[in-house]
């Protein structure tokens, strides 16, 4: 019995996380879960008699975010003088690999940041413990919405509590658009055409903030799935309803070809090697006109750009007028090798409380996990408005589930990014690239069904 498909929980994502799922096997109310018998015997987080040091490692490292987290940890330590938290913040591009290496070596870790993209891998390797028995006795558990619980679960068991939800939208240079009397694009084709119009290489100005390095698949995968449209299996974003992979269709070739043109004709040449930081910096510095990113980037834009120079818009749609989008999350989990699991849970419960989680969301631009944030005007105005628009139009903006249930999903990110770069360098064609990706996912499905 697996996690709810994201699309089935669509109405609960943003500030509308006000109801619970009435049908299906909810993680919170799953009487058939193999862990259900444990739910009636909650684990208590005891107060330590001697000072304990918790080693905590974050994954989505960012100076601003780390600063906010340190403030929350200091407040936690003030309330719990016998617990000290040692926060480890590796560079973003190295963080997941560092965490994975330390978990494999059973090194001293007590709280780690787990992501939707690696939860299946961690669970399959038994690197992290389920949190159900702790959560069953947590006073704030009843207000945690279903989507964050499902994103942080595998086979009906909770393995991390999300620290916020990530949803993507379009950010654009309003001043550039206004000067050329352009409107924000509503389709991927319009995005490309608009990006070309805004590109002036002589001025080092480009229409699109391309991302070709780590995380690049978040763009071309979105395009490919959107172009597959109604034929995509929304419960498994790697495949179509007929069982073929999403990368084997003529629509996939159309989408990847447009992606290649977007790089060639409307993006900085060096952006082939851009990761998150470089992609965002290109936008804030005035080098690029459009950026596709999650809501956590809003805080950075507000800090670095005058408010009248940028604005937000919904995600582009495909040829059928629909957009395929998803919700991502990362959050706190407990490594199996931790020697201080009850103290680790106490920290997670504190950071995940409505007060701390909503504050974290406001300060860093994430959607909180608690239904109590539903009526907060902060999340329903300004740059967050397109997220509301997309959430309120589930027929046009359709949610699909990332294929994170495959333990090799992390391998996909690495392999597809390398292949995408080779394709854009002219070392492989679009057809050859898609053929390799199709073979990868067919192999993954075969392995899953052994």
pLDDT of residue 46: 52
For Cα atoms 291, 379, 4, give the angle at the middle one, nearest 5 degrees.
Answer: 85
Q: Which helix (H) or strand (E) holds 67?
A: helix 63-79
Helix axes 250-266, 188-197, angle to 10 degrees: 20
> How high is the mean pLDDT in each 10-residue block of the chain (450 residues)?
34 36 36 34 52 97 94 98 98 94 97 94 96 96 87 92 93 98 98 98 98 95 97 94 98 98 98 96 98 92 96 97 91 98 98 96 88 79 84 83 84 96 98 98 89
pLDDT of residue 189: 98
pLDDT of residue 381: 78
Other Cβ atoms closer than 10 A to 402: 20
Cβ-contact 170, 316 below 8 angstroms: yes
Burial grade of 381 (CB within 10 A; 0-12, 13-18, 19 or more): exposed
What phi and psi, each to the nearest 5 degrees, are found at residue 403?
Answer: -75, 50
Taking every pair of Cα atoms in the chain, the longest distance, rounded to a whole number of angstroms, is 67
Cβ-contact 38, 60 below 8 angstroms: no
pLDDT of residue 449: 76
Cβ-contact 257, 221 below 8 angstroms: no
pLDDT of residue 47: 54
pLDDT of residue 24: 33
């Amino acid at each position: 019995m697996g996690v709810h498909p994201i699309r089935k929980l669509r109405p609960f994502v943003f500030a509308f996380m006000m109801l619970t799922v009435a049908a299906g096997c909810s993680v919170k109310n799953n009487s058939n879960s193999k862990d259900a018998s444990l739910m009636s015997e909650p684990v208590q987080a005891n107060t330590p008699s001697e000072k304990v040091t918790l080693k905590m490692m974050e994954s989505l490292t960012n100076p601003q975010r780390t600063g906010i987290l340190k403030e929350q940890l200091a407040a936690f330590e003030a309330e719990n003088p016998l617990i000290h938290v040692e926060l480890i913040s590796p560079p973003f591009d190295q963080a997941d690999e560092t965490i994975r290496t330390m978990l494999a070596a059973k090194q001293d870790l007590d709280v780690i940041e787990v992501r939707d993209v690696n939860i299946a891998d961690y669970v399959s390797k038994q690197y992290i413990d389920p949190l159900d028995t702790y959560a069953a006795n947590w006073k704030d558990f009843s207000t945690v919405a279903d989507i964050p619980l499902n994103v942080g679960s595998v086979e009906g068991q909770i393995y991390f509590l999300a620290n916020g939800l990530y949803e993507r939208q379009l950010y654009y240079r309003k001043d550039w658009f206004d000067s050329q009397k352009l409107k924000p694009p509503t389709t991927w084709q319009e995005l490309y055409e608009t990006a070309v119009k805004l590109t002036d290489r002589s001025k080092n100005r480009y229409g699109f903030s391309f991302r070709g390095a780590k995380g690049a698949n978040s763009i071309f995968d979105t395009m490919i799935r959107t172009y597959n449209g109604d034929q995509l299996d929304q419960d498994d974003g790697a495949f179509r309803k007929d069982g073929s992979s999403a990368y084997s269709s003529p629509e996939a070739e159309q989408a990847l070809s447009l992606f290649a043109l977007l790089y060639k004709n409307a993006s900085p040449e060096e952006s082939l090697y851009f990761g998150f930081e470089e992609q965002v910096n290109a936008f804030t510095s005035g080098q690029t006109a459009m950026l596709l990113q999650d809501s956590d980037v809003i805080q950075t834009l507000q800090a670095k750009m005058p408010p009248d120079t940028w604005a937000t818009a919904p995600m582009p749609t495909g040829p059928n007028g629909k957009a395929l989008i998803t919700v991502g999350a990362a959050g706190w989990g407990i490594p199996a090798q931790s020697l201080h699991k009850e103290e680790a849970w106490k920290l997670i419960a504190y950071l995940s409380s409505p007060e701390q989680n909503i504050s974290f969301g406001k300060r860093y631009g994430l959607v909180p996990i608690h239904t109590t944030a539903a009526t907060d005007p902060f999340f329903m105005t300004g740059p967050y408005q397109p997220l509301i628009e997309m959430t309120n139009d589930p027929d046009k903006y359709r949610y699909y589930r990332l294929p994170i249930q495959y333990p090799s999903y992390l391998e996909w990110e690495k392999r597809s990014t390398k292949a995408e770069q080779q394709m854009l360098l002219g070392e492989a064609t679009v057809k050859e690239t898609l053929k390799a990706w199709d073979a990868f996912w067919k192999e993954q499905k075969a392995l899953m069904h052994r």
